[in-house]
Structure 1
Amino acid sequence: MTKNTQKITAIIVSVALTGAFAISAPLIANAAEGDTVNGTTSLTLTGDSSALTLDSVPSFNWGSKDTTAVQTQQSISGTGNLQVTDGRGGSSGYTVTALASSMTSSGNTLPVTAMTISTTAASPLTGVTGANILSSNTVLTGGADANGTLATTASTGYITVGNAAKTGTYSGTITYTINDGGLE
């Protein structure tokens, strides 16, 4: 190979390499003031499809009343809040129902003519006013966003007893049941 051929080959290789570097080199630009670049965030939440629990419920003690006094409606604040934990992480919500049993004393059944509960709660919970619990009725609703642990702020129980009441200390139970709300 002659010297001239070597020079021409060297120039061609040099031009080819310069072009290759120009093509593969990143374009460098100066960022203007106020330009923004976004990053990303990520979080995975998991739930337990069976994690719907009734944590606490109110009880009602109307104390001692004269047989004629209980013929008018008597009210009392509940002891304890109605509290629910929904760890499912969905948006189906839930309802809580209550059903009162008969109140008895030494073989006598108290002639209860009315027993209701009113609950007070903040969103996403919805309380009720005057839910008849002599039959099963809803006393609290958790809406689509009622995930986590939430509770009522107050519960009031109301009772009216008929005029056939006998003296004695009567007791009964209130059965509270939590149900998937089916809001989805």
Structure 2
Amino acid sequence: MATANDRAVLQTIFNPSTPFGDVPGLDEDEDMPQEEEEAFAPELLAQVRDLELQGVSAAESGDVSAALERFSEAIRLLPERASAYNNRAQALRLKGDVAGALRDLDAAIRLGRGCGRAVCQSLVQRGLIHRLQAREDDARRDFQQAARLGSAFARRQLVLLNPYSALCNQMLSEMLGRLRNPDVAGSD
């Protein structure tokens, strides 16, 4: 299960110009259904969660190699759980291993069977990678699925991917600029 720190790390990866911890919209999905964790032995699940927290802490402190080790150990102990794959994908992305990150995101989505927080976050993360690769249709599909799972961030990304919305936003921005600065508009 991802923590607020996990979401902050994801935000930092894909939007390095925003302050760490400032994750607009990702806090709005707190009522998102959790993974079906009851299928896992409680003591093993606790150990895996602890490894993931250690991995997130390592990534936050800049030790991505240690983070990858913790996430990989969590996957080795509980390979059927989606969350560690999602977290490791973030660390792989930090290391520049986009192909490895995509493999882990695909695994997380498959293991989560289309529902839960880890699947939603994996879809958002994969959608962002697709956007960076100019694969807009793939990004749109991932954001649509994540939006259906409750991600407000994914809904905003869908608006940004909509060319009509972008055109309307541009026209509205120009109109508001003219209203705010009528002298500048008259000199055109």
TM-score, length-normalised on structure 2? 0.19
TM-score, length-normalised on structure 1? 0.20
- Greater C-alpha radius of gyration: 1
Structure that is richer in strand per residue: 1
Structure that is richer in helix per residue: 2
